[in-house]
A and B are shown apart, each in its own frame.
Chain A
Amino acid sequence: MYTLGMDIGSTTSKAVILRDGREIVASSMVIATVGTLGVFQVMDHVLEESGLKKEDMACIVATGYGRQTYGEADYQVSELTCHGLGVRHVCPQARTVIDIGGQDAKVLSLGEEGRMVNFVMNDKCAAGTGRFLDVMANILKLDISQLEVEAARSEKPANISSTCTVFAESEVISQLAAGTAIPDLVAGICQSVAVRTAALAKRAGIKEKVFMSGGVAKNGGVRSALEKELGTEIGWHPLGQLMGALGGCIYGWEKSR
């Protein structure tokens, strides 16, 4: 049985096809969000990669920011539930999930069976989200993927405001003018995201094992800063950005079997 999960996020659309609730057959990611052709492109890509047709899917589950507007889904499930299910699939020991997406940050508490039992979300603010990192990378004329490497080269991380993306942008420009080294600025930016996320995580309560999902999970600079803030090791998976779509597949499989 094949199930398909579509995670229509605020900056990227992701799709995963799963066989029998276990094996990832295909996955795709397009940098495009709800209301754009990207949503259809990601579906086409994942079907093409798998060699399957939409009719072969026992269930299609939409999640993420654009879930309510995706009319072809059998179920529209919150991204919190889907990230919980996705992480449980790749790391059954995880009890705390930190998901930093393009537009928001969430912390999930998972129970003994890996089911979500509590969660908190960030305020309606870009600080501490993927958008914050995008803005900062743009000021520094770096690709988002370079942030991890630059942060690792830092000798003395700069102090960047953790409260507001707009003010932080001004701070970074001021620090550039003052001659602060790029690696130190990047490390300070990662630290800023970590401080804000750690505060959110502490509100939910930290229970090991801690796992990070969402696009920002790929950023080692943020991960290691967060590990220091929380005083615990943080697990992650190279497919961390696909956890929502993967969780959608699992939800669909559980409903269909």
Chain B
Amino acid sequence: MTANEWLAKLHEAASCPKKHMERYLSQGKKVVAVAPVYTPMELIHSMGLVPMGVWGADVEIKEAKKYYPAFICSIMQTILEMGIKGEYDGVSAIVIPSLCDSLKTLGQNWKYAVKEIPFIPMSYPQNRKPDYGIKFTKAGYQRVISDLTIAAGAQFSEAALAESIKVYNEHNQVMREFAEIASTARLTAAERNDVFKSAWFMLPEEHTAVVKELNAALKEGPEDEGKARVLVTGILADSPSLLKILDDNGIKVVFDDVAHESRQYRIDVPDMANPMDALAQKFADMDNCTLLYDKEKKRVDYIIEQAKAHSADGVIVLMTKFCDPEEFDYVPIKRACEAAGLKHLNIEVDRQMVNYQQAGTMIQAFKEMF
């Protein structure tokens, strides 16, 4: 198969998650929804369940407005909206982490708004690196295991977790390889996003197999030339309209620091004697993310380093509306870009955007500065 054929397969998965969920259900598997940003997918997978990402969708918010004010993250609001409207019917449970204040309210509201799908909290510590933080993370995982046992009738074993960790570590490695190949290969911003988005809706072993083939095909294919090279950062960058504007303006995404994309694959579970300890250690090892407490804001340096490493000419910040953590990080990112001589652009985005006129003008003007 050609790169385009593999990409078409991933586009289909990214566009039709429900079809994939129904396929897994028809195979007798049970599906567990996982909310942003980090959930212990290795653990869910090890219990014989299929973790599928729920990051909301570009839909009109009606029902969720009963539970939320207008000034709150639309990713989270649309997750609740789709839950209320039955879009996730068939899943055995939803795991919602506590990584930001808004996500905490999603879990609480879910209990009342979508009673038929059990809510499983994943409580992470703010201080994740000290021993007490790692113990706290592990206790959170134990709660997830316990709740999944009740909600899905699934059983946990350390041996199975060790196997699932291997599967996810391989997937991480393949996705990191894709991100590097995509920095030079001829690929649109929309196609690049399809590869990351589809990962949320396929079992990791299936996705790994496809992306391996894609990577091989892309390595043999032509490189992108003559485009403005940018690093994109933010929580989510999956709007087809926005990605089309990037493509129409000859802008190539050479790397990302997007929570929905590369941030998921940076860190592997380390090789340790006890797989639960290893999984908790993985969370402790994670860095460079808005939602992971870091008083030194190392993420800012990371963005600049990656922009330089991938020969980016500029940085586009896709600022999720009402996302306080991302907004706090913007000022140091802006200053660091200026100090590094990188052009930068901040575009506010949310799941409710219907008019992309202003974003189009900003992106075109940004490109014209190169």
User: Is A78 a contact of B358 with CB atoms below 8 Å?
Assistant: no
Which residues in A have their C-beta under 8 angstroms from that of B362?
119, 121
User: Is B348 a contact of A78 with CB atoms below 8 Å?
Assistant: no
Which residues in B have their C-beta under 8 angstroms from that of A81?
365, 368-369
A174 vs B343: C-alpha distance in the bound complex, in angstroms?
46
Judge whether B357 is part of the interface by a CB distance below 8 angstroms: yes
B276–chain A nearest beta-carbon distance, Å: 47
Judge whether B311 is part of the interface by a CB distance below 8 angstroms: no
A68 vs B369: C-alpha distance in the bound complex, in angstroms?
19
Chain B contact residues: helix, strand, loop or mixed: helix
Interface code B311-326, partner A: CB below 8 Å = 1, 0 otherwise? 0000000000000000
A117 vs B342: C-alpha distance in the bound complex, in angstroms?
11
Within A50-83, which residues are at the interface with B (CB < 8 Å)? 65, 68, 77-81
Which residues in B have their C-beta under 8 angstroms from that of A141?
none
Which residues in B have their C-beta under 8 angstroms from that of A77?
364, 368
User: Is A80 a contact of B348 with CB atoms below 8 Å?
Assistant: no
Judge whether B108 is part of the interface by a CB distance below 8 angstroms: no
A118 vs B337: C-alpha distance in the bound complex, in angstroms?
12
User: Is A104 a contact of B365 with CB atoms below 8 Å?
Assistant: no
Q: A117 touches which one: B355, B357, B364, B369 (CB < 8 A)?
A: B369
Interface code A114-125, partner B: CB below 8 Å = 1, 0 otherwise? 011111110110
A119–chain B nearest beta-carbon distance, Å: 6
User: Is B357 a contact of A78 with CB atoms below 8 Å?
Assistant: no
Q: A65 touches which one: B357, B368, B369 (CB < 8 A)?
A: B357
User: Is A121 a contact of B361 with CB atoms below 8 Å?
Assistant: yes
B307–chain A nearest beta-carbon distance, Å: 17
Q: A78 touches which one: B344, B346, B355, B368 (CB < 8 A)?
A: B368
Interface code B333-353, partner A: CB below 8 Å = 1, 0 otherwise? 000000000011010100000
A70–chain B nearest beta-carbon distance, Å: 14
Which residues in B have their C-beta under 8 angstroms from that of A121?
358, 361-362
A121 vs B348: C-alpha distance in the bound complex, in angstroms?
11
Chain A contact residues: helix, strand, loop or mixed: mixed
Which residues in B have their C-beta under 8 angstroms from that of A120?
346
A-B CB pair tally, cutoff 8 Å: 35
Which residues in A have their C-beta under 8 angstroms from that of B346?
120
A77 vs B362: C-alpha distance in the bound complex, in angstroms?
11
A78 vs B248: C-alpha distance in the bound complex, in angstroms?
14
Known: A78-B361, A80-B361, A121-B362. A116 touches B348 (CB 8 A): no
Which residues in B have their C-beta under 8 angstroms from that of A79?
361, 365
B49–chain A nearest beta-carbon distance, Å: 41
Which residues in B have their C-beta under 8 angstroms from that of A115?
369
Within A107-147, which residues are at the interface with B (CB < 8 Å)? 115-121, 123-124
User: Is B365 a contact of A116 with CB atoms below 8 Å?
Assistant: yes
Which residues in A have their C-beta under 8 angstroms from that of B368?
77-78, 80-81, 116
Give the residue name and chain of the A residue nearest to B360 (CB): A68
B217–chain A nearest beta-carbon distance, Å: 34
Which residues in A have their C-beta under 8 angstroms from that of B357?
65
A117 vs B364: C-alpha distance in the bound complex, in angstroms?
13
A65 vs B360: C-alpha distance in the bound complex, in angstroms?
10
Give the residue name and chain of the A residue nearest to B344 (CB): A118
A104 vs B364: C-alpha distance in the bound complex, in angstroms?
16
Give the residue name and chain of the B residue nearest to A108 (CB): B365
A80 vs B361: C-alpha distance in the bound complex, in angstroms?
8
Q: A124 touches which one: B343, B344, B358, B369 (CB < 8 A)?
A: B358
A-to-B contact residues, CB < 8 Å:
65, 68, 77-81, 104, 115-121, 123-124
> Can you name 18 A-B residue pairings with CB atoms under 8 Å?
A68-B360, A78-B365, A78-B368, A80-B365, A80-B368, A81-B365, A81-B369, A104-B358, A115-B369, A116-B368, A117-B343, A117-B369, A119-B365, A120-B346, A121-B358, A121-B362, A123-B348, A124-B358
Given A68-B360, A79-B365, A119-B365, 8 other A-B residues pairs in contact with their CB atoms under 8 A: A78-B368, A116-B368, A117-B343, A118-B343, A118-B369, A121-B361, A123-B348, A124-B355
